[in-house]
Chains A and B, each alone.
Chain A
Amino acid sequence: MNTAKPSATSSGNPKLRASELKVGDTRELVLVENLTRTQIVMYAGASGDFNPIHHDETFATKAAGYPSVFAHGMLTMGMTGRLLTDWLGDGVLREYGVRFVKQVWPGDSLTARGTITAIGDDGSVELDVVTTNQNGEPVVAGTASAVLPR
């Protein structure tokens, strides 16, 4: 039904040109230090995901058997998106996907790291992206692509 590919033409508000990047370039961004339950609740409200496992300590521990509430995977994905847009620009992404590898708990500190894996002649750029916690463990890992001016 849907075979349409995102546009391969540069648009949006790019921060740089593809020619300013090379394969292997990396960039890091500290996403959060000491993640608060308040931020998790803000994300619940903003996203509409009110699964009590993310905000109701009693439900999370007693009913569900987790050590505490934990962050929405999408909160980490959303924070990780900042690395991409701060680096490449607004409205330049064509694809962004992650696997949720490990839970993120209140008190965690997260750092995202992007690595350029391919640059096309047309200005297309591919990246690997991984966000790790304070123990160096990946919590989300994935890929993104963008189209920049050449």
Chain B
Amino acid sequence: MSEPEYEFFVDRTAILNFAAAVGETNPIYWDAEHAKATPLGDIVAPPTFGIASAHWNPNYSLRGARRIPRSEPKASGEVHRAGGGSLARVLHGEQRFAYHKPLQPGMKLVVTTRAGKTWEKEGKKGGKLKFSETVSEYRDEAGELVLVATSVGVLTEKAVEK
């Protein structure tokens, strides 16, 4: 099931906030003068910044400014994307990025998301785990691939222990 595509505008402030949140100390993420002197020529985004496209995704289920659905998990692997699942039971199992071009301020990207593989397995502490992959492709205005992000959601039957 494909979701509608959406635009993702890459800008310096978003990159700065993201770099600060992950504790970055590298000036390439905010110092334009420093960045200009490198072969990249401008500020770049940290490797996992693509995930912040969530701000621009109209269907994203975990936006704080929206009413957050809290219904019980459905038996479908798609609940973590569709936003109908229990927030307490859907965990992020795996995340992969494939980098084609650096993300830099001023880029207008189009993100297209589709469902990938789904599978199940028994959890170590009991309870079934349902895995589902979501693949997001980020393309620039020339239609060229910039980033591919693959997310694996896990629907759990019980909460994890400390």
Contact = CB atoms under 8 A, between A and B. Distances in A.
Contacts of B97: 93, 95-97
A83 B14 CA distance: 21
Contacts of A73: 91-92, 95
B21 A39 contact: yes
A96 B26 contact: no
A51 B97 CA distance: 22
Interface string A1-37: 1101111000111000000000000000001100000
Q: Give chain B's interface residue range (CB within 8 Å of chain A).
A: 35 or more
Contacts of A82: 22-26, 46
Nearest to B24: A82
B106 to A, nearest CB: 15
Interface in B122-162: 135, 137, 145, 148, 150, 158-162
Contacts of B24: 82
Contacts, number: 159
B32 interface: no
Interface string B32-71: 0000001110001011100110110000101110001000
A90 B62 contact: no
Interface string A25-58: 0000001100000010011111111111100000
Nearest to B87: A51
Given A13-B40, A48-B52, A100 B102 contact: no
B6 interface: no
A77 B159 contact: no
A124 B99 CA distance: 14
| Chain A interface main SS type | mixed
A127 interface: no
Nearest to A78: B22
A39 B23 CA distance: 9
B123 to A, nearest CB: 13
A103 B39 CA distance: 38
B94 A100 contact: yes
Interface in A106-135: none
B93 interface: yes
B64 to A, nearest CB: 3
A65 B159 contact: yes
A32 B24 CA distance: 11
17 contacts: A45-B17, A48-B52, A48-B55, A50-B62, A50-B63, A66-B160, A66-B162, A67-B161, A81-B48, A82-B23, A85-B26, A91-B40, A91-B99, A96-B99, A97-B96, A97-B97, A105-B162
Interface of A: 1-2, 4-7, 11-13, 31-32, 39, 42-53, 59, 63-68, 72-75, 77-79, 81-82, 84-86, 90-91, 93-100, 103, 105, 142
Closest 3 CB pairs of A and B: A97-B96, A50-B64, A64-B88
